[in-house]
Amino acid sequence: MAVSRWARRRTRRRLRRGLTRFDARLRSSCPGIGFTARITASVLTDPPYAETDKEIVHAVRTVLRTAAEDVSKSCDPADLATARDRIEHHLRQQRTLPAQATFTFRAELTLELLPDDQAAVGALLAAQRSQAMTDILRQQKVEAAAAELADPAALLLRWVEREDAQWSKLPSLAEDARALAAVFAQHRPEHERTIEYQAIEVVREFLTSFPDHAQKRMLYTLLAAGMEGAQRPHHAAKAQALLKGHMPPDTPSGG
C-alpha cells in the first residue's frame, strides 16, 4: 500500500521533533562525574514506514546515546573542550539502525558539566595538586638523602654526630659504611633512568675495570680516535684533555 505524501511529511516532522536536542547523561573517566549532552540527530534517508515514528525515535536515541558514551567514558571531565571534540567527531559518522540498514542518520551535540559536576572536578583537581606537591617533596627528600648517603664519609658523619656514638667501633663501621653507600649509589632520579644515563654507567664501569694507567691511556686514545672518526673534534679534544689530566706524575706527556 502506497504511503501518501502527507503521511511522509508528518512522519518526518515527528522524527525531527523527537530527535532534536534530546538529553543524555554520559559517564566520564572519573567515577561519579559525568557529562550532560544535548544531541541533535539528522536523518539522511527516508524512514522505514513499517515502524511507528515513536519506535524509530527511541531506537535512534538509544544508538546515539550508546555511541556517545563509548567515547565519553575515556574522556577527562577537566578537559571539556577535548571531550566535546572527540564525542562530536564520533557522532558525526553515519549510522544505521540494527534492523534497518537503509535508514541512515548522524548527529551533533553540545556538551557541558552541571554545577555539581563542575564542583566535583574542582575538588578533584585540588586534591590531585595537593597530592602531587606531597609526592614531589617526598621524592626530592629521597633523592637528596640518597645522593648524600652515597658518600661513605657522609654516612660516618651521621654516625659520629649521634650522642651515643662509640669511637672504638669506627674502624669496623668504615667498612660497613662503604657497603651501605654502594647501595645508596644505585638510586637514580627519574630523569637519570634514560638509556643515555644507563650507557654512561656501562662506560664508567668499563673504564674503571682497567686500573693500569697504560690501559687507561690506550682506552682514552681509542675513545678520542672514535670521536674524531665520528666528526666530533670538540669531544675528541675533551677526551684527550681527560687523558692528560689522569696521567701519573712520572709519565712523559708524549708517552
Residue 183 has pLDDT above 80, yes or no: no
User: What percent of the chain stands above pLDDT 70?
Assistant: 85
Given this model, what pLDDT does residue 80 score?
Answer: 96
- Residue-wise pLDDT for 151-181, tens only, equals 888 877 877 777 676 766 666 777 777 877 8
Alpha carbon distance 220, 206 (integer Å): 12
Alpha carbon distance 26, 205 (integer Å): 56
Instruction: Look at residue 215 and tell me if it is in a domain.
Output: yes
List own/partner pairs for 4-11 with CB under 8 A and 24 or more apart.
7/49, 8/46, 8/49, 11/47, 11/49, 11/53
Query: Closest Cα to residue 66, out of 91, 83, 44, 86?
Result: 91
Last residue of a domain, one of 113, 128, 156: 113
Query: Closest Cα to residue 228, out of 240, 219, 216?
Result: 240
How many CB atoms neighbour CB 37 within 10 A? 26
Average pLDDT, the chain: 83
Top mean-pLDDT range of 88-102, 107-121, 237-251: 107-121
- Residue-wise pLDDT for 198-241, tens only, equals 777 777 788 788 878 788 788 888 888 888 888 888 988 888 88
Last residue of a domain, one of 87, 113, 139: 113
Residue 125 has pLDDT above 80, yes or no: yes
Given this model, what pLDDT does residue 111 score?
Answer: 96
Instruction: Look at residue 141 and tell me if it is in a domain.
Output: no
Looking at the structure, do residues 16 and 106 belong to the same domain, yes or no?
yes
Last residue of a domain, one of 74, 93, 113: 113
User: How many DSSP H helices and E strands does the chain contain?
Assistant: 9, 4
Q: What interhelical angle do 53-72 and 80-91 show, nearest 10?
A: 140
- Give mean pLDDT, residues 135-151: 86
Helix H or strand E encompassing 60 = helix 53-72
Helix H or strand E encompassing 6 = helix 5-18
153 Cα distance to chain centroid = 39
Alpha carbon distance 204, 93 (integer Å): 57
Given this model, what pLDDT does residue 120 score?
Answer: 96
Domain count within the chain: 2
Looking at the structure, do residues 109 and 198 belong to the same domain, yes or no?
no
- Model confidence pTM above 0.85: no
- Give mean pLDDT, residues 145-155: 82
Of residues 48 and 77, more confidently modeled: 77
Query: Closest Cα to residue 37, out of 88, 102, 78, 76?
Result: 88
Residue 35's domain comprises: 5-113
Instruction: Look at residue 185 and tell me if it is in a domain.
Output: no
Instruction: Look at residue 27 and tell me if it is in a domain.
Output: yes
Give how far Cα 96 sits from Cα of 32, 85, 116, 193, 235, Å: 31, 22, 35, 51, 65
Instruction: Look at residue 179 and tell me if it is in a domain.
Output: no
Residue 252 has pLDDT above 60, yes or no: no
